[in-house]
Amino acid sequence: MKVKDYNFPDELYYDGNHFWARVEGDVVVMGTTDLTQSMAGEITFVDVPEEGDDVTQGKPFGSIESGKWVGRVYAPVSGEIAEGNEDLEDEPELINQDCYGKGWICKITPSNLDGDLKKLMQGDAYQDWVEKEIAKTALESK
């Protein structure tokens, strides 16, 4: 789906912290949305999580930095880090270039996938939510 100038693939799940989740077999790949990377500007640093770290849905576990912004990374699902995207250590700008592809942040082996997915948004629910977020951001920048 396209909302304003931002792209949000329909097959992904989204949380209220501007992160996405994609189920791939027995892991969940996650990253930040097009809206977030655009608002942040050029990403200069990503705190890539370590394999084996535990994460909890909705709780921060890392950070992303740009020249004008530092943001927390929140887990869209609970579980254990299966893999961090080590390419981001040398090329954090991959998030700006391809936030839904090469710019993924980590893969999580979920501990309660069905329950966690029910708490995320897709389709019309996410479109309504993100339209309000974009409008709120526009008001705050005035």
Q: In what order do the strands lie in the sheet with 69-74?
A: 43-46, 60-66, 69-74
Q: What pLDDT shows up at residue 139? A: 64
pLDDT score recorded for residue 118: 97
91: Cβ contacts below 8 Å, ≥ 6 apart: none
Band (14; pLDDT cuts 50, 70, 90): very high
Tell me what the mean pLDDT of segment 38-54 comes to.
95
pLDDT at 115 exceeding the cut of 90: yes
**Residue 87 burial (CB count, 10 A):** 14
Give residue 140's pLDDT: 64
Query: What pLDDT, in 10s, does the model give residues 60-106?
Result: 999 999 988 899 999 999 999 999 999 999 999 999 999 999 999 99
Average pLDDT, whole number, for the chain?
94
Q: What is the pLDDT, as a whole number, of residue 141?
A: 58
Distance between CA atoms of residues 137 and 40, nearest Å: 12
End-to-end CA distance of the chain: 27
As given in the structure block, the two tokens for residue 103 are 């710019």
**Topology classification of domain 19-131:** OB fold (Dihydrolipoamide Acetyltransferase, E2P) (2.40.50)
Q: Which of helix, strand or coil describes residue 38?
A: helix
